[in-house]
Amino acid sequence: MSASESLPDQAEGLRNAGPKPVRVICVTGGKGGVGKTSVSVNLAVAMADAGRHVLLLDADLGLANVDVLLGLTPRFTLADVIEGRCTLQDTLLEGPHGLAIVPAASGKRKMAELSAPEQVGLIRAFSELDRDLDVLVIDTAAGISDSVLTFAQAAQDVILVVCNEPASITDAYALIKVLSRERGVTRVHVLANMVRSPAEGRELFDKLARVTDRFLDVTISLLGIIPHDEWLRRSIQRQQAVVEAFPASPSAHALRGVARRIDQWTAPSGPRGPVEFFVERMVTPREGAPA
């Protein structure tokens, strides 16, 4: 049984659970090296700085590095949760402005190859969290693995990070195609990253839009354009978010702009389907639970 097939029965009583829906944002990419994790970290930090209660989940389960980008040292990771050594609450790290982070493991192939029941078990573990959340940002692995598709399906919004390389565009299209045809995702926000000019970012988006409009029943929109920026590279070396380390830099300005646009999106009225029922329940505080 697949993870998606096993979720409806579990989700049956969850449609009205919780006092408010949490916005679940999945940040993903067709290939590695496009800056996906840096985008996830900076958007999460920017939203936390704006006063939102944000949880950043490192869902690159076998090659995790959210903690590395923020200079944090986890005592426990999702690998420990899967193996029963701790609860999900035990893994939480605190980042800038009260940002909560769930770290994954790095260099553990088993985590990158979780079975469908293990993926469901991992999702179920989130029901342990007693936190008042506005936004859950999920940083997935690159590619079209089952875990990437499951987390993207669970989100109200999917942000696809692309850069101006032929392989990035080709792999981004492949990911959109699989999400659309196999997981029912009909809307994707595209973020053009590491571009030399706004015109280059727009041209990159247009290339992708031409093929998706022609061959797929999916709507893509340009969420933002992040410039190639030496300050961003320096912030990574310093293990800080660029929006914190160099707030006046071009990349920090662009990323904060994207975070503001996300904050202006219409609040989710509820989950979209079976997987979302589960995700909403796992990050929504239980009645009477402490904030």
Supply 21's token pair. 């829906």
Q: Is residue 138 part of a domain?
A: yes
**What does the alpha-carbon distance between residue 209 and residue 189 come to, in Å, rounded to a whole number?**
11
CA geometry: angle 162, 165, 166, nearest 5 deg: 105
Q: Which residues contact 229 (CB under 8 A, 6 or more apart)?
A: 242, 249, 250, 251
pLDDT value at residue 46: 98
Determine contact, residues 27/137, Cβ cutoff 8 Å: yes
For β-strands 187-195 and 23-29, DSSP reports them as unpaired
What pLDDT does 161 receive?
98
Domain membership flag for residue 3: no
Residue 289 lies in a domain: no
Query: DSSP assignment, residue 288?
Result: T
Residue owning tokens 């839009």: 209
Q: So what's the pLDDT on residue 10? A: 36
In this prediction, residue 41 carries a pLDDT of: 98
Structure tokens, 145: 């693995």
Q: What is the pLDDT along the chain (291 residues), one digit of tens a residue?
A: 444 444 443 333 333 334 567 888 999 999 989 999 999 999 999 999 999 999 999 988 878 899 999 999 999 998 888 888 888 889 999 999 999 999 988 766 767 677 777 766 676 666 567 778 899 999 999 999 888 998 898 888 999 999 999 999 999 999 999 999 999 999 999 999 999 999 999 999 999 999 999 999 999 999 999 999 999 999 999 999 999 999 999 999 999 999 999 999 987 766 554 445 445 544 444 444 433
Amino acid at 155: A
Q: Determine, yes or no, domain membership for 145.
A: yes
Hey, what amino acid is at 25? I
Do residues 55 and 283 make contact, with C-beta atoms less than 8 angstroms apart?
A: yes
Confirm if 87 and 125 have CB atoms less than 8 A apart.
yes
Residue 144: CATH number of its domain: 3.40.50.300
Confirm whether 218 is domain-assigned.
yes
* Residue 10 placed within a domain: no
Domain tally, the chain: 1
Kindly state whether residue 19 falls inside one of the protein's structural domains: no
Tokens of 105: 């493991």
Residue 69: give the domain boundaries: 24-283
Residue 18 lies in a domain: no
Which pair of tokens denotes residue 110?
Answer: 């088993």
- Say which DSSP state 285 is in: P
Whole-model pTM?
0.85
